[in-house]
Amino acid sequence: MAEYAVELRNVWKRFPGPGGEVVTAVKNVSLQIYDGEFFALLGPSGCGKTTSLRMIAGFELPSEGEIFIHGRPMGKTPPYQRPVNTVFQSYALFPHMTIGENVAFGLQMKGVDKKEIARRVAEALEMVRLSGYEKRKPKQLSGGQQQRVALARALVNRPEVLLLDEPLGALDLKLRKEMQLELKRLQREVGITFIFVTHDQEEALTMSDRIAVMEGGVALQVGTANDIYEHPNCRFVADFIGETNFLDGTVAEVDTDKARIDLPGGVSLWAHTPQRVAVGQAVTVTVRPEKMHIRPNATDVNQVTGYVTDIVYIGTDTHYGVVLSGGQTIRVREQNYSAESRLLAREGEAVCVRFSIEAARVLTE
């Protein structure tokens, strides 16, 4: 068996647009998804993540490039001959069939014998905790229950890969959190590769082994949640995942893996450089708010000064808005360690914001 459950090799997808122009939804995307992995395609709407998923399912065919499932090129294989199943955003349960009939549908189409179908349907419904709902119609179930039927209907076929298109999009926040854990549990239980499309970065971080961040049809970065959060490779990824500060400046001095960056207003700071930079190059430095401190800390090399413009207390943290001498606004997040955590500064007060070299990261794109 091939190493990858799914591989996209230089895949392009072009659609005819409404005005006759060509819309390129997916641009030269190459992805390798490992067997048994929980993989997320993350990005804002229109980034090409759903189109990519639909190409794996076979609902769309790539304009260029090839998709492999366990090493087998899919070519023009129609959806009903692909070893994958999909959980649709709208669930797409057959309204004229009972829950039992919905779940049995795929097995019937495959010609599995009746006894086996009955056994596996019961097993699948038990897995999603819906035993006893066989005779109901989809309309009689709540959104969360319908979602679980959709999961059972797909998983009962034991696909090589399960594709999920924003499956939690229609659920309210609390149910969503529950289903995130539920999905994770199911995936561990069945050991099937899950490919999951979402625009919710928190959801992707919570659930996935690896994430591909997509924008404008391009897969910008692929990595673990930690990789993508701590080592974003471009401005879009840094901005899309979590909250961050951007400081634009020019490279003044280059060391092996760090550089001194001059910011407007006569401030300079040292930042980590994952890519090679040259003196005089215009770059952006990103620093996560929780890695900046107003609290005195001797080990932090970088120090910038500014005035506090606003303070937001949100319980676990207090957020400070600070305007630097160069005019840039940054946000600093201080964790409230103890109940007595006092304010570290007042509005209008001059403060010194500190952070380490590792916390600051130079982005060239």
Partner 1 sequence: MIQHIRENRRLQGFLLILPAMFVMVTLLVIPLTLTVITSFGQRDADGNVIYTFTLENYWRLLGFTEQGWDDLYLRILLRSLWLAVQTTVIVILMAYPLAYFIARSPEKRRNFLLFLVLVPLWTNFVIRIYAWVMILRSQGVFNSTLGAMAGLLNVPFQPLDLYPSQTAVLIGMVYEFLPFMILPIYTSLEKIEPSLYEAAADLYANAFRTFWRVTVPLSMPGIVAGTILTFIPVIGTFVVSDILGGRQVILVGNLVQRQFLDARNPPFGAAASIILLVMTLVLTLYYTRRFGLGEEIAAG
Which positions from 170 through 199 interact with partner 1, judged by CB under 8 A?
none
Told to check if 49 binds partner 1 by CB under 8 A, we report: no
Measured from the CB atom, the residue of 87 and 212 that comes closer to partner 1 is 87
Kindly report the three-state secondary structure assignment for every residue of the chain: CCCEEEEEEEEEEEEECCCCCEEEEEEEEEEEEECCCEEEEECCCCCCHHHHHHHHHCCCCCCEEEEEECCEECCCCCHHHCCEEEECCCCCCCCCCCHHHHHHHHHHHHCCCHHHHHHHHHHHHHHCCCCCCCCCCHHHCCHHHHHHHHHHHHHCCCCCEEEEECCCCCCCHHHHHHHHHHHHHHHHHHCCEEEEEECCHHHHHHHCCEEEEEECCEEEEEECHHHHHHCCCCHHHHHHCCCCEEEEEEEEEECCCEEEEEECCCEEEEEECCCCCCCCCEEEEEECHHHCECCCCCCCCEEEEEEEEEEEECCCEEEEEEEECCCCEEEEEEECCCCCCCCCCCCCCEEEEEECCCCEEEECC
Told to check if 85 binds partner 1 by CB under 8 A, we report: yes
Closest approach of Cβ 77 to partner 1, in Å?
A: 11
Told to check if 96 binds partner 1 by CB under 8 A, we report: yes
Select the span of 45-53, 75-83, 212-220, 241-249 touching partner 1 (CB under 8 A): 75-83
Told to check if 58 binds partner 1 by CB under 8 A, we report: yes
Measured from the CB atom, the residue of 123 and 262 that comes closer to partner 1 is 123
Told to check if 129 binds partner 1 by CB under 8 A, we report: no
Told to check if 92 binds partner 1 by CB under 8 A, we report: yes
Told to check if 109 binds partner 1 by CB under 8 A, we report: yes
Question: How many residues form the binding site for partner 1 (CB under 8 A)?
Answer: 25
Told to check if 62 binds partner 1 by CB under 8 A, we report: no
Told to check if 19 binds partner 1 by CB under 8 A, we report: no
Measured from the CB atom, the residue of 96 and 174 that comes closer to partner 1 is 96
Candidate list 13, 153, 333, 354; residue touching partner 1; CB under 8 A:
153
Candidate list 16, 19, 76, 80; residue touching partner 1; CB under 8 A:
80
Told to check if 106 binds partner 1 by CB under 8 A, we report: yes
Task: Give contact residues for partner 1 (rule: CB under 8 A).
Answer: 57-59, 78-81, 84-86, 88-90, 92-96, 105-106, 109-110, 153-154, 157
